[in-house]
Each structure stands twice: as C-alpha cells, then as structure tokens.
C-alpha cells in the first residue's frame, strides 16, 4: 500500500495551504468586522468628546499592537494548530490551557461569531425590514441569578437572519480551508474598498457638512471627571477593543499556514498595522462629519455619516458593513474550530471533535458544534451584551498570554526564537499591567450600569458575571475528562 504524501494527504491530516497574503487577510478580515461601523457612536455617548474618542482609539490601537508584537514572539517558535491553546499549555500547563480553550468555545470566539452575524442582520434591516414578534412575545424574558434577565425573543427577525448567516459560513468552511480562505480574500478586499470610499467621500464631498471644528467638540452633559472619567474610558475601550479583537486568530490555524514560524508573526504584525491605520482614518472621517452631540445619538454611525455624504448612502454603507461582517465571521469560524479540534486530540473534549473530514480535510465536527452554540448565543442577548461579555473574558487571557512571554523566556531560554518582541520587557509588561487595570475598571462599570438599569426599572445583564460563569462551567468538565484519561491508562 502506498504511503500518503504532501500531494495525497492522509484522511486525518489538515493541509498547510495558506500563504502570507491569505494569512494577513485573515488578520485584517478577522479583525475588521462590525466594531468600527457601530461602536464609535456608543463610545461618543460614554465619553462626551470627539477628542477623547479619537484618543481612546489611538490608545486601544497602541495597546493592541503591543499585544500583537508580544504574541508574535511566541507564535514564531510554537506553530501548531490550536494556537493560543498550545501556547497556554507550554506556559502554564494543561488546566489553564483547557480553561482558555473552553472560554474560546463558551464565549470568546462563539460570542464573536454571534455578534458579527447579529450586526450583519441588523444592517440588513436598512435594506429590507425583517419580521418581528408581537411586543408581548418580544418582551418575554427569564432571570438568571447573579447574572440578570435574558430576552431571547427580542429582535427575533434579526436573530433568525444571524443564525442563518452562521449556518451558511459554517457550511463554507466545512467544505475546505482553501475555499474558506478564498472567500476571506474576496470579502476582505471588497470591504477595504468600501471603507476607502467612505473615508474619501467624507473629506471630499462639500455638502457633507464636514469641518475641522467638529474634531474638538464636546457634550458638557456627558463629560466626566476623575475616577468617573477613568471608568468611562474603560467602558469606551470595551467598544474599541471589540473592533480590534481577533488579532490572535491566525495562531489557531498555524498548522494550515505555509512556513508558519515566519508567516504567522509577520501576518499578525503587518495586519495590525493595517487595521490601526484604517481605524484611525475612519474615526477621523466620522468626527469630521458629525460633531460629538450627533455622534453620541447615533446607533449606526457609519450609516449616518454615509447619508450625509450622499443620497442613499445609508443603504450603500449597509452593504459595505454586511460584506465586512460576513468576511470577518468567515475568518472567525475558520480559525476558531481548530482550538476545539486540538483539545479533542488531547482527550479534553469529545473525541469526535478531533476528527478530520476524510474528503474535505477540515475539522468538520468542531465546525458544526461551534455553529450550533454560536446560534444559541445569538438568542441570549443584544450585540452590546455579546461583545462586552466576550471582551471581558478575552482580556483575562490576553493578559495571561502576554505574561507568558516572561514565563517561556525563563522556562525555555534556549528555544530558537526567529522573532523577539521589541522593547522587551517594557512592551509585554505594559500590556500585562494595562490588562489588569482594564479588567478592574470594566467590572466597576458593569456594576454601575447594572445598578442604574435596576433603578430605572429595566434590569439587564452583568456582562462580566455572565462571561465568568460561562468560563467556570468548564472546570468540572476538565476534571471529568482528566479522570477518564487516568482510568484508561
């Protein structure tokens, strides 16, 4: 019997088919999704100033770049499929690695998939209204102790379309990583073209009402000082970090990247420089056209700016946002399923999730289970609930991952490192310290927001509590699989 070769891979093998361009497009396309089109209005309402808004976007970009530079060192010498999960295993051992992998499944990546699909459907309403349930049915909710109220039927039409998008993209990636990568390239290039057009139109169309004076406007009633300002900045950073989130996705599928030791860190750093430049440009365009007061009232800020720039611009930008979120969701679905695949092959998840489809060479079962749970999350809450929850959990592990550079340099000082983080130890140290402060301020903001909602008679969710609960559910599952593995020895 002939042995499988690179040209005829074995049925249980993932294929290294992604080059530098596609891997960079996974970073850019996976990061640029919905946040830059939707979050600036919410952030302006939290900060009350266009100057502060722009400063927060710069701060978030710098901090995220520090994280990407730090992560690139690790990915340059650990290049297995599973990415961050494998990193945590080398840094802290199997338990912390498992908690990360479980968090990716429970809320981080599945929550991203749900949120991106949600915004796709939300912007679709600009083109075609979606059917909704009666007011009584939409308001039905149930209470989860210590977490809050969940209203699954609210915005039912939007949620159903979001679920359909998840099914379509899961099917695309089920059929092959090369097919998924091709879809990624097409949609990333298309959305970058649309964003460039919006940026140019904001500054070049004279009737848009743009003015340099708008770049320094404020809303006195919304401005805060002292500790309240620090909390408001942390709240706004949640929105910005959601827009920047996704910079670790390429490490999840490193085993399917050609020359991963070189291409994964290069794609991560190059992609984040591109993303940061795009975000700062678009925020300048938003602030140029809309003063702080109008921006703070805007739910879909990109659509409102586009309407001012051209007749029917809201519908045009809705198409751009739908392209953007579709492409970002494709990247998220493609990359994330590889984490559960890796965990299953380490006997920490059901064995079926570690199987490769014999024809398509994809982690088919992982993709299907990921899709089903993402659809369930769509019905747990709104876009802001999903994003704030997953960002809190993500930054716990981002901070731990950056600290892991210090751990690995101590544990494995002689390991070959094709790339080393510049500015060591300051760059990773600043990132770790910032992560800790950000998490504390996020908890304070969540509690304050929850209390305000209760006082107004509109109980909501404690986002950090929901995220923490979803992660902790994984603890007994870990010990179940560990005991089962010990008994089988």
Residue 261's domain is classified under what CATH number?
A: 1.20.1740.10
Residue at 65 is within a domain: yes
pLDDT value of position 267:
83
Residue at 391 is within a domain: yes
Residue at 56 is within a domain: yes
pLDDT value of position 430:
95
pLDDT value of position 92:
93
**190 backbone dihedrals φ, ψ, rounded to 5°:** -65, -45
Q: Is 19 a residue whose pLDDT tops 60? A: yes
Residue at 52 is within a domain: yes
Residue at 430 is within a domain: yes
pLDDT value of position 4:
43
Summarize the confidence of residues 314-332 as an average pLDDT. 82
Q: Which of 60-69, 133-142, 419-428, 464-473 has the lowest mean pLDDT?
A: 133-142
Residue at 69 is within a domain: yes
Residue at 15 is within a domain: no
Give the domain extent around 214.
20-483
Higher-pLDDT residue of 403, 143: 403
* Highest mean predicted confidence (pLDDT) among 90-94, 170-174, 363-367, 380-384: 90-94
pLDDT value of position 2:
41
pLDDT value of position 254:
57
Q: Which of 123-137, 182-196, 358-372 has the lowest mean pLDDT?
A: 182-196
Domains held by the chain: number? 1
Residue at 247 is within a domain: yes
Band the pLDDT of 432: cuts 50, 70, 90: very high
Band the pLDDT of 415: cuts 50, 70, 90: confident
């Amino acid at each position: 019997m002939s042995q499988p070769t690179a040209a005829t891979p074995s049925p249980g093998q993932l294929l290294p088919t992604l080059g530098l361009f596609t891997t960079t497009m996974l970073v850019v396309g996976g990061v640029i999704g919905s946040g830059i089109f939707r979050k600036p209005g919410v952030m302006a309402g939290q900060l009350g100033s266009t100057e502060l808004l722009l400063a927060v976007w710069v701060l978030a970009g710098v901090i995220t770049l520090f994280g990407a530079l730090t992560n690139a060192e690790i990915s340059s010498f650990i290049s297995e499929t599973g990415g961050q999960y494998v990193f945590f295993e080398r840094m802290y051992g199997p338990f912390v690695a498992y908690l990360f992998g479980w968090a990716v499944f429970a809320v981080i990546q599945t929550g991203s998939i749900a949120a991106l699909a949600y915004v796709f459907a939300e912007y679709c309403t600009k083109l075609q209204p979606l059917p909704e349930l009666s007011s009584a049915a939409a308001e039905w909710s149930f209470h989860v102790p210590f977490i809050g109220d969940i209203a699954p039927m609210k915005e039912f039409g939007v949620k159903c379309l979001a679920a359909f998008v998840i099914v379509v993209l899961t099917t695309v990636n089920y059929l092959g990583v090369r097919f998924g990568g091709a879809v990624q390239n097409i949609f990333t290039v298309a959305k970058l073209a649309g964003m460039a057009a919006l940026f140019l139109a904001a500054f070049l169309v004279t009737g848009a009402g743009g003015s340099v004076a708008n770049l320094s406007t404020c809303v006195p009633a919304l401005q805060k000082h002292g500790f309240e300002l620090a909390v408001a900045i942390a709240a706004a950073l949640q929105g910005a970090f959601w827009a920047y989130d996704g910079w670790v996705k390429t490490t999840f599928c490193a085993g399917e990247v050609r020359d991963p030791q070189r291409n994964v860190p290069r794609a991560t750093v190059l992609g984040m420089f591109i993303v940061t430049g795009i975000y700062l440009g678009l925020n300048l365009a938003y602030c140029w056209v809309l003063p702080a007061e109008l921006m703070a009232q805007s739910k879909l800020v990109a659509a409102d700016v586009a309407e001012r720039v051209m007749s029917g611009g809201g519908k045009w930008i809705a198409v751009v946002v739908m392209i953007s979120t579709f492409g970002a969701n494709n990247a998220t679905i493609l990359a994330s399923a590889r984490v559960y695949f890796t965990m299953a092959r380490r006997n920490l998840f059901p064995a079926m999730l570690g199987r490769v489809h014999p024809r398509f060479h994809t982690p088919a079962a992982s993709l299907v289970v990921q899709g089903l749970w993402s659809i369930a999350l769509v019905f747990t809450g709104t876009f802001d609930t999903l994003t704030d929850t997953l960002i809190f959990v993500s930054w716990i592990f981002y901070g731990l991952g950056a600290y892991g550079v210090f751990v690995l340099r101590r544990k494995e000082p002689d390991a070959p490192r094709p790339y080393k983080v510049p500015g060591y130890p300051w760059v990773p140290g600043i990132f770790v310290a910032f992560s800790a402060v950000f998490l504390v301020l996020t908890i304070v903001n969540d509690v304050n927001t929850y209390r305000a909602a209760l006082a107004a008679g509109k109980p909501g969710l404690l986002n950090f509590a929901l995220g923490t609960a979803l992660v902790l559910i994984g603890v007994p599952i870990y010990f179940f699989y560990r005991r089962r593995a010990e008994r089988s020895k």
